[in-house]
């Protein structure tokens, strides 16, 4: 029988971060680009501005009025590709150690990604 420590999952290291510009590779919003608003590593998902827009029905409260609000929903990170900051093309991401610090770089061009 496995112990708790053996069955415990680790947090995956994602190739995208908050503030990155990404393009959608699959789904209804394929081809759209936007900025990452939020990353949810435990669910392997990211919220991208202007992508996967859903309608949420809200009930009126003292602070806000009720109605239908459009908001972006999370997208799985496998359906997203980071855009190279210099070329603007989708690229895969690699990690390498430079000056004792891990940095991300574009696999297509080799450019560093901040």
CATH number reported for the structural domain that contains residue 42 in this entry: 2.30.30.30
Q: What is the pLDDT of residue 2?
A: 56
Stated as kind and residue range, the H or E segment containing 55 is: strand 53-58
More confident residue, 56 or 12: 56
36 pLDDT higher than 90: yes
Q: What is the pLDDT of residue 114?
A: 82
Angstrom CA distances, 95 to 27, 81, 103, stand at 28, 15, 6
- The predicted-structure confidence for 40-63, as pLDDT tens digits, reads as follows 998 999 999 999 999 999 999 999
Q: What is the pLDDT of residue 4?
A: 55
Comparing CA positions, the residue from 85, 77, 64 lying closest to residue 20 is 85
Spatial CB neighbours of 2, under 8 Å, sequence gap ≥ 6: none
Residues of the domain holding 93: 12-113
Residue 8 — pLDDT band, cuts 50, 70, 90? low
Cα separation, 2 vs 9, in Å, equals 13
As for how many domains the chain has, the answer is 1
């Amino acid at each position: 029988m496995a112990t708790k420590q053996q069955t415990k999952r680790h947090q995956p290291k994602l190739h995208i971060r908050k503030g990155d510009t990404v393009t959608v590779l699959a789904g209804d919003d394929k081809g759209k680009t936007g900025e990452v608003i939020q990353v949810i590593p435990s669910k392997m998902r990211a919220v991208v501005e202007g992508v996967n827009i859903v309608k949420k029905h809200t009930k009126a409260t003292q602070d806000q009025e009720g109605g239908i609000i459009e908001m972006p929903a999370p997208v799985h990170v496998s359906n997203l590709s980071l855009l190279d900051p210099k070329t603007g093309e989708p690229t895969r991401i690699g990690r390498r150690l430079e000056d004792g610090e891990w940095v991300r770089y574009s696999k297509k061009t080799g450019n560093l990604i901040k």
